[in-house]
Amino acid sequence: MYQEPKLSTPGPSPARAFSETERKALHDIIAARRDVRNEFLPDDIDPEALRRVLEAAHAAPSVGFMQPWNFILLRDAEQRRRVHDAFAAANEEAAQMFEAGRRTEYRALKLEGILKAPLNIAVTCDRTRGGKVVLGRTHNRDMDLFSTVCAVQNMWLAARAEGIGMGWVSIFRPEDLRAILRLPEHVEIVAYLCLGYVSELFDGPELAARGWRQRLELDSLIMNERWEG
């Protein structure tokens, strides 16, 4: 006869609010996070610092605690050259999608650091991890993808706290990147990241500094009870 397994769950610990100094440090890191593209130094990342960044990613929340992520570390120059070639082809396609004036501005932007950064990391999502039925994903299959994005955000903040710059490269044909990384069918690429120490950082988002787009006012994005407008 089937019996429900006994769960040995540890009891909760007392909750506490963090100190004002701790809260300020967190918000300072959030405010100082940047999408780094061109400021990378060639220095290798300290292995202990990299481990802390990956541990922060692995501590992210995930639906059904399925932890669907993997982290593919790319240091080999030839492998990164293949990735860069795939980016360049997709980037030219992207440029053609903008009107003529905007296209010139687009081509002037530096949108990746694939070859300049000493380390690239591909973050993937194994959509089969946890079995066919995953707690919390029963009515929204994409929750595993959202969970993996949470891991990326944790990485970004942890990297910034370590003085490591990170940039997210999103301009690829998925099939090109899949082939280069030899991903099995059940694994999706969620993020391709460039990491390295940096010489300097923009005071605010680079696209805002370059006049591409400005930050929206938070109050214009807050609604109550239902969609307004």
How do residues 85-130 score in pLDDT, each as one tens digit?
999 999 999 999 999 989 999 999 999 999 999 999 999 999 999 9
Q: How many CB atoms lie within 10 A of CB 191?
A: 22
pLDDT in the model for residue 75: 98
Residue 2 has pLDDT above 60, yes or no: no
Express each pLDDT in 126-147 by its tens digit: 999 999 999 999 999 999 999 9
pLDDT in the model for residue 12: 86
Structure tokens at 84: 């860069």
Q: How confident is the model at residue 6 (pLDDT cuts 50, 70, 90)?
A: low
Contact call for residues 87 and 11 (beta carbons, < 8 A): no
Residue with tokens 């089969």: 128
pLDDT in the model for residue 136: 96
CATH code 3.40.109.10 for 35-199: yes
Q: How is the chain split into domains, by residue range?
A: 35-199
Residue 3 has pLDDT above 70, yes or no: no
Structure tokens at 208: 């805002």
Sign of the CA dihedral 154, 201, 102, 218?
Answer: positive
Contact call for residues 34 and 201 (beta carbons, < 8 A): yes
Residue 1 has pLDDT above 60, yes or no: no
CA dist 172 to 120, 180, 229, Å?
A: 15, 11, 35
The chain-wide mean pLDDT, for the chain, equals 95
Express each pLDDT in 38-79 by its tens digit: 999 999 999 999 999 999 999 999 999 999 999 999 999 999
